[in-house]
Structure 1
Amino acid sequence: MSKTDRTLPVSPGDTLEAAIETLNSSGDGIARVEGYTVFVPNALPGDRCAIEIVKAGPRWGAAKITAILSPSPNRVDAPCPVFPDCGGCRLQHLDYGQQLAFKTGAVKDALKHIGKIEWEGEIGSIAADPVYGYRNKGSFALSGRGKHLAAGFFRTGTHEVVDSTTCDTLMPPVNAIKEWLRQLMMRHNVSIYDEKTHMGFLRGIVVRHSTATGQSLVGLVTTRGIFKKKFLPELTGAAELERFGVVGILQNFNTERTNVLLGKKSKLLWGRDTMEDELDGLKFKLSLGSFFQVNPYQSVKLYSLVADWVKDESGLIVDAYSGNGGIALWLTRAGHRVLGIDEFAPAIEDAKESAELNGLSNCRFEAGTLESRLEALQQESIGTLIVDPPRKGLSKEVVDAIPQLNPKRLVYVSCNPATLARDLALLPQYAIQDIQVIDMFPQTPHIETAVLLGNT
């Protein structure tokens, strides 16, 4: 008899007690009811809870906590006033040491169960410090209008904006700039975009900030059109610009029906269209949309780790998903010869300007995908290939091309343990030498992993 033919042990509306055994990849607790898996948001391993079943499917169900009967010894008080409603930080109630254990365990499980890789070595972890106030970029969703303008992040599993004046994981200036802009929007009764009707003007707010330089860059994401005449003088003449280190304000246009906030085109409203950041003395020029790690404190640790892994590299290093050149420039400063590739052309322009800003000439940057550059790269003698793909992982073309490029060393930086495990299983000629979880996103279930592999 198949699972779908069995009578389920629970039905929606049922209430029962459950012991939470572990967490899934989203940070939800997992309970077993007669062998049937039930996901329980906001529950932790070691909790004993009273729960109500809200969904019962053929393979798994979902429940909500009605009471915590016996809390886990690893449960802590979350400082955020909108936890757990806001979907931004789902592990604030878990002791930080256990957050690290959860993340290293998730990587090990993915390698074993998805990649069928039995890694006998230790999976290391590089803890975050600080664990709050680390994010240098905020992308805020909006809803309502006038005196009822909500600005924050989405409720878990929905597109309902959870209004909050602050987010504990953001750097304080990012919160302050968002609140200043919210008050300004309310005073001018700016029309807010409604994604259901595709009506309205302002879709969201993006704020970047650097603690190293004190500079901030602001993006106001809109549909077509212009701001009211009275709005812009107050925006661009505000004392807050100097107080918060704002060096530029852009209007970004996004007219698509999409969940992606930033559109492809922007117009400068005031100041300049880039800002500068700095990591350990290395300067970076950043545009509104270019990729840059949101945790500068952990970025330094990641870049230093990769630099240590390749310190004896005398050949060409190819950074195949280079973004604005973070790793590539770090390695160039260390004396290596580096080629950075990224499909987002503005990020490549930022990388080139950053190289000039730092007086680095032993690197070059090219716009395009690794797939589009394969023929040219096969003419190079690559010592180390670095890949840092999006969550979907490497394409089949890239996986197939890596053996042809034949780098001596492969460094895989991943933001998704599942696709990391899948891809490594497809590259059996590369043996794992080290695995480190770099906690870029404390208080969240997001996992950043760096893996060093050698060509066998």
Structure 2
Amino acid sequence: MQCDYFDAGVCSSCNQMGVPYATQLLAKENAACELFSHCEGLVWLPSAVSDESAFRNKAKIVVAGTVTDPTLGIVDARTGCGTDLSGCGLYTFEITRIMPVLRELIIRAGLTPYDIPGRKGELKNILVTASASGEVMLRFVLRSKKLLVPIRRELARLHEEIPSLAVVSINLLREHVALVEGDEEIVLTQRTTLPMQVNEMTLHLRPQSFFQTNTGIAEAMYHQGRAWVADVQPKSVWDLYCGVGGFALHAAAAAPSAQVEGIEISEEAILSAQRTVAEQNLKNLHFVAGDATAFAVESERTPELLIMNPPRRGVGQELSHWVEESGIDTVIYSSCNAKSLAKDLTFMPSYQPVEAKVLDMFPQTSHYEMMMLLKRRR
């Protein structure tokens, strides 16, 4: 893939840009194999390969510049100078085509970009998510409610200019902090969720719900998880850090007689998952909002199969120790940081890594996802 922004030296986020894709993938596979080279008998399944470009289903756009000449991309926090990346080749077509609409909206409605060094202005970020069907969710991250009325006035025109627009919301990030979004969300449209199509399933994404950046690789992740669950046919499954329920839903489909529970700290994500359950009238699937570690450690029961999909820091020592002492037969660990996975495994010596898979969620970078099937040693 060739990128004008990278070639001009204005964006270095994709540190593997220009490296042939086959070479990128091989480097990730070699890094994973080396990290787990001590695991005897570990079988590496074929890697999940991504498109090289147009794979990002979301854009986290920092708005800078002026209200008459805004930039949509990244910003130097020290100087406040923005770099426009609205033509980034990683975005899906649905995202790229609405960038000019967003720019004109800022100018027309007077949505003053937030000046980081000066701590003034209102519009901080615009968060865009596009589903595989082409529908779009737009979220405007603001310093206050000052621009609420101007944005609300533009809704009808936005729907005309973006016919696939499903959800529009305001997110309030009042503090001067290095965060993408705040806790308070105001939905401006009648629809409150964006349907995400994954492996013939429809997951519902609310504004503050997490979903993987690369839909194709997300499908590969859930497909692999479903296959491992189908092989075991457990009577009970827990999906810790379940998000909007991708692994849990696929597990319930793979093992119809199993009782499946999903646990996630984000109440927004749980509401999304519960809507899917109600929509599909699933009887063997239940979602709970709560801390994954606390849920497991405080529970008086254990599942036959455990799925864990934690953030980059991993599951941590406390939960790893609980898994070690739990007696659970099968664990599926999905990780966005292989080093965290390796560290967590040191606290679970009773488990044998059986199969593993590299999933290339982020082409053009050195980052990758990993999934591992663990079996309790006999």
Q: Same fold per TM (> 0.5)?
A: yes
Question: Is 2:143 the counterpart of 1:223?
Answer: yes
CA distance in 2, matches of 1:176, 1:422: 42
Tell me what 2:259 maps to.
337
After TM superposition, give the deviation of residue 402 of structure 1 in Å. 0.9
Question: Which of the residues 243, 247, 260 maps onto 1:327?
Answer: 247
Tell me what 1:25 maps to.
none
Higher helix share: 2
After TM superposition, give the deviation of residue 176 of structure 1 in Å. 2.1
Q: Considering only CA atoms, is the larger Rg found in Structure 1 or Structure 2?
A: 1
Tell me what 2:219 maps to.
300
Tell me what 1:437 maps to.
358
After TM superposition, give the deviation of residue 289 of structure 1 in Å. 1.5
Q: 1:230 to 1:221 in 2, by over 3 A?
A: closer
Question: Is 2:313 the counterpart of 1:352?
Answer: no
Question: Which of the residues 234, 240, 247 maps onto 1:314?
Answer: 234
Tell which has more relative contact order, 1 or 2 (C-alpha 8 A, sep 6+): 2
For 1:66-122, what per-residue CA distance to the aligned partner results, in whole angstroms no more than 9, with x for missing partners? xxxxxxxxxxxx42210153243222211111111111122233335xxxx345545
Tell me what 1:93 maps to.
18
Write the mapping of 1:143-292 to structure 2, written as runs, cut at 5 A: 143-153=64-74, 161-212=82-133, 214-227=134-147, 229=149, 231-233=151-153, 235-238=154-157, 240-241=159-160, 243-292=162-211
CA distance in 1, matches of 2:50, 2:180: 29
CA distance in 2, matches of 1:158, 1:432: 48
Residue identity in the other structure for 1:95: P
2:172–2:181 CA contact under 8 A, matched in 1? yes
Q: 1:175 to 1:240 in 2, by over 3 A?
A: farther
Q: 1:432 to 1:175 in 2, by over 3 A?
A: same
Q: 1:183 to 1:423 in 2, by over 3 A?
A: same
Give the match's secondary structure for 1:146: coil
Question: Which of the residues 371, 394, 398 maps onto 2:319?
Answer: 398
CA distance in 2, matches of 1:382, 1:215: 37
1:316–1:383 CA contact under 8 A, matched in 2? yes
After TM superposition, give the deviation of residue 241 of structure 1 in Å. 4.5
Tell me what 1:109 maps to.
34
Give the match's secondary structure for 1:227: helix
Give the match's secondary structure for 1:151: strand
Give 5+ residue unaligned stretches, structure 2. Answer: none
CA distance in 1, matches of 2:346, 2:161: 52
Q: 1:150 to 1:282 in 2, by over 3 A?
A: same
2:42–2:353 CA contact under 8 A, matched in 1? no
Give the length in aligned residue pairs.
Answer: 372
Residue identity in the other structure for 2:201: L
For 1:395-415, what per-residue CA distance to the aligned partner results, in whole angstroms no more than 9, with x for missing partners? 221112112322101111111
Give the match's secondary structure for 1:237: helix
Residue identity in the other structure for 1:401: W
CA distance in 1, matches of 2:118, 2:150: 27
TM-score, with structure 1 as normaliser: 0.76
For 1:319-364, what per-residue CA distance to the aligned partner results, in whole angstroms no more than 9, with x for missing partners? 1010010111111122243110011111011101011122222110
Q: 1:109 to 1:375 in 2, by over 3 A?
A: closer
Residue identity in the other structure for 1:318: W
For 1:339-393, what per-residue CA distance to the aligned partner results, in whole angstroms no more than 9, with x for missing partners? 100111110111010111222221100111122213553x224111111111111
1:337–1:362 CA contact under 8 A, matched in 2? yes
Residue identity in the other structure for 1:350: S
- Shifted more, 269-278 versus 405-414: the winner is 269-278
For 1:221-253, what per-residue CA distance to the aligned partner results, in whole angstroms no more than 9, with x for missing partners? 0011222755532x2121654644112210100
1:85–1:156 CA contact under 8 A, matched in 2? no
Residue identity in the other structure for 1:103: K
For 1:123-156, what per-residue CA distance to the aligned partner results, in whole angstroms no more than 9, with x for missing partners? 3442424221111111111111123211113579
Tell me what 2:289 maps to.
367
Q: Cα RMSD between the aligned structures?
A: 2.3
2:77–2:117 CA contact under 8 A, matched in 1? no
Residue identity in the other structure for 1:97: A
CA distance in 1, matches of 2:66, 2:323: 51
1:440–1:447 CA contact under 8 A, matched in 2? yes
Question: Is 2:341 the counterpart of 1:428?
Answer: no
1:144–1:150 CA contact under 8 A, matched in 2? yes
Give 5+ residue unaligned stretches, structure 1. Answer: 1-77
Give the match's secondary structure for 2:181: coil
1:86–1:156 CA contact under 8 A, matched in 2? no
1:82–1:162 CA contact under 8 A, matched in 2? no
Residue identity in the other structure for 1:80: C
Give the match's secondary structure for 2:11: coil
Q: 1:157 to 1:297 in 2, by over 3 A?
A: farther
Give the match's secondary structure for 1:310: helix
Residue identity in the other structure for 1:418: K
Residue identity in the other structure for 2:284: N
- Shifted more, 426-435 versus 220-229: the winner is 220-229
Question: Is 2:79 the counterpart of 1:79?
Answer: no
